[in-house]
Amino acid sequence: MEYLIIIISAIFVNNIILAQFLGICPFLGVSSRVTTSVGMGAAVTFVITIAALLVYLLQYYILVPLGIEYMQTIAFILTIAVMVQMVEIILKKVSPSLYRALGVFLPLMTTNCAILGVAIILVQKEYNMFESVVFASSTGVGFTVAMVIFAGIRERLDLEDLPAGMKGAPIALVTAGILAMAFMGFSGVV
Amino acid sequence: MSKIQILTRGIIKDNPIFVLLLGICPMLGTTSSAMNGLGMGIATMSVLLLSNIMISLFKNLIPNKVRIPAYIVIITTLVTALQLLMNAYTPALYNTLGVFIPLIATNCLIFARVEAFASKNNVVNSAIDGLGTGFGFLGALVLLGTIREILGTGTFFGHKFIEGDGVLIFVLAPGAFIALGFLIAIFRKVTAKIS
C-alpha cells in the first residue's frame, strides 16, 4: 500500500514536470515527436533508477558515516556524470540495440535537473533503499507520461495557424500549463 | 565587442529566458512571488558571476579534455558555498526555494556562459558578461514573480493593494507555464518592434 501511494503520487499527483518543474529543458526541447519522447522517457527512467540506487548508497554508506553531508551536491553530480558515462560504455558493448535507441539522449542526462532533483528529494524524504528505487522509477514513468502526451499535442499544434509571436516556445508553454491544470485533478487521489 | 555591449547583450538581445530559453526550471519553480524570484535571481547571479571569474582565471591551467568535469566541480563548489551561506543567513528563503538551490549547479544557463564566454575571454570581460546575463535572468524572474503574485493574490512584494482573492491558479503550477508563455510572446513582439 505504501509503495502504491509512492507510485501514484510520483506519476500523477506530484508529476516531476507538471507539478515540480524539473526536467523542463528536455520536455520543451525533445518533445516535438512522439517516438523521440518515448526514447527520451525510457532513457530518463533507466538512468534515474540506477542513479537513485547509487545516490542512496553514497549518502548512507559514505557521506553520513564520514559526517560530510554538506558535500552532497558535488558528490551527487559527479556520481551521476560518471554513471552516465559508464552506462553509455556498458550499453554499447552489452546491448547495441538499446544503445542505438537511447544513445543520443544519454549525454544530455548529466545536465538534466530531474536526475539530480530526484536524488536530492529522496534523501530529503528519508526513503529507504527500496522506496528510493520505487520512487525514482515511478518518477521516470511520470516524466515519460507527461512527455508523450505533450508530444502528441505538439504534433497537432504544428498544423495550426498561430500568431507569429506565439509560435514555438510560447504556445508550448501555454499548452503545458493547460496540461498541468488537467494533472491538478489528480491532487485529491493520494 | 565593447564592455557596454557585453553587459547589455545578456539583458536584451540574448536574454537567457526570453530568447535562449535556458534555465526555465528554476524560472518556473521559484517565481510564486516576486520576493522568491528576487532571492533566486540574486543567488543564480552570484554563482554565475563568480564561476565566470573563476573559470576565466583558471582557463589556461585546465586541460581541454577534462574541462567539462573541471567546470562542473568549480560551479558546484560555489553552489555548495552559497547553500551553506543561505542556510545560515536567510533560512526562510532557503526553505522556500528548497531543492532549487542545489539545482543551480545543473542550470544550463551557467554552463552555457562558462563554456561559450568565460573559457575564451579575460577576467574583466567575463565578470561583465556574468553580471549582464545574471541581470537578464534576475529581471526575468522578478518580472514573472511580480505578475504571478499580482494576478494570483493581489499583492506586490507582500503588500496587498487589490481587494479580493485573486486568481489562485497563477500561484500554482499551471499559472507559471501560462504566464511565461505569454511573457515570451510579448517580449518577442516588443523587441521585434524596437529593432
DSSP codes, B146-158 = HHHHHHHHSEETT
With beta carbons under 8 A apart, name residues in chain A contacting B170.
none
| B20: closest chain A residue by CA | A169
By the 8 A CB rule, do B34 and B127 touch?
no
Q: Which residue has the higher pLDDT, A102 or A42?
A: A42
- The proportion of chain A whose per-residue pLDDT surpasses 70, expressed as a percent, equals 96
B15-42 average pLDDT score: 88
| CA A168, A169, A170, A171 torsion-angle sign | positive
Gap from B98 CA to chain A (nearest CA, Å): 10
| Max CA separation in chain A (angstroms) | 60
Residue A118: predicted pLDDT: 92
Q: Beta-carbon neighbour count of residue B52 at 10 Å?
A: 27
Q: With pLDDT > 90 as the criterion, what percentage of chain A qualifies?
A: 34
| DSSP letters spanning A72-131 | HHHHHHHHHHHHHHHHHHHHHHH-HHHHHHHGGGGGGGGG-HHHHHHHHHHHHTT--HHH
| Grid cell of B61 as nine digits | 591551467
| A123-159 per-position pLDDT tens digit | 998 999 999 999 999 999 999 999 999 999 988 888 8
A120 shares contact with chain B (CB less than 8 Å): yes
Chain B contact present for A153, CB below 8 A? no
Contact present, A74 and B77 (Cβ < 8 Å): yes
**B44 band by pLDDT with thresholds 50, 70 and 90:** very high
Q: What is the pLDDT of residue A169?
A: 86
Chain B residues inside the 8 Å CB shell of A70: 80, 83-84
Q: Please determine, for residue B16, whether its predicted confidence score (pLDDT) is greater than 80.
A: yes
B22: which DSSP letter? Answer: -
pLDDT band at A81 (very low <50, low <70, confident <90, very high): confident
Are the beta carbons of B80 and A70 separated by less than 8 Å? yes
Is pLDDT above 80 for A102?
no
Average pLDDT over residues B81-101: 92
B159, β-bridge pairs: B156
What mean pLDDT comes out for the span B110-135? 90
Q: What is the distance between the alpha carbons of residues B57 and B74, in angstroms, rounded to a whole number?
A: 12
Higher pLDDT: A100 or B143? It is B143
A120 contacts in chain B (CB < 8 Å): 99, 102-103
Contact B176 A178 (CB under 8 A): no
- Cell numbers for A186, please give them: 489528480
Question: Are the beta carbons of A118 and A135 closer than 8 angstroms?
Answer: yes
Which of A17, A73, A157 is the best mutation test for B, with the most CBs of B within 10 A? A73
Largest separation between any pair of C-alpha atoms in chain B:
60
- Cell numbers found for residue B10: 545578456
Q: What is the pLDDT of residue B86?
A: 94
Distances (CA, A) of B159 to A165, B148, B151, B172: 33, 14, 13, 19
pLDDT band for position B156 (50/70/90)?
A: confident
Q: Record the cell numbers describing residue A184, joined without a space.
A: 491538478
Specify the pTM: 0.88
CB B148 within 8 A of CB A65: no
Position B153 scores a pLDDT of: 87
Do B80 and A73 lie within an 8 Å CB cutoff? yes
ipTM of this predicted structure: 0.86
**Cα distance between the two ends of chain B:** 19
The confidence band for A42, taking pLDDT boundaries of 50, 70 and 90, is confident
CB contact under 8 A, B106 and A111: yes
Residue A110: per-residue pLDDT: 66
pLDDT recorded at residue A96: 83
CB-closest option in A121, A174, A177 to B99: A121
**DSSP letters along A128-173, please?**
-HHHHHHHHHHHHHHHHHHHHHHHHHHHHHTTS---GGGTTHHHHH
Q: Is the pLDDT of residue A1 over 80?
A: no
B 7-36 → A contacts, CB under 8 A: 21-22, 24-26, 28-29
Query: Would you place residue A111 in the very low, low, confident or very high pLDDT band (cuts 50, 70, 90)?
Result: low
Beta-carbon count within 10 A of A48 CB: 28
CA distance B167 to B60: 53
Residue B162, pLDDT score: 80
Contacts of A163 in chain B (CB under 8 A): 185
**Cβ-based contacts of A146 with chain B (< 8 Å):** none
CA distance B82 to A53: 27
Q: What is the pLDDT of residues A44-78, one digit of tens each?
A: 898 899 999 999 999 999 999 998 888 899 999 88
- Check pLDDT > 70 for residue B158: yes
Pure H helices in B90-122: 91-97, 108-113
Q: How many CA atoms lie within 13 A of B158 on its CB side?
A: 4
DSSP single-letter state for residue B99: G
Amino acid identity for residue B150 in this structure: I
Q: What pLDDT, on a 0 to 100 scale, did the predictor assign at position A51?
A: 92
CB B178 within 8 A of CB B159: no
Q: Name the residue in chain A with its Cα closest to that of B78.
A: A74
Rounded mean pLDDT, B53-67: 90
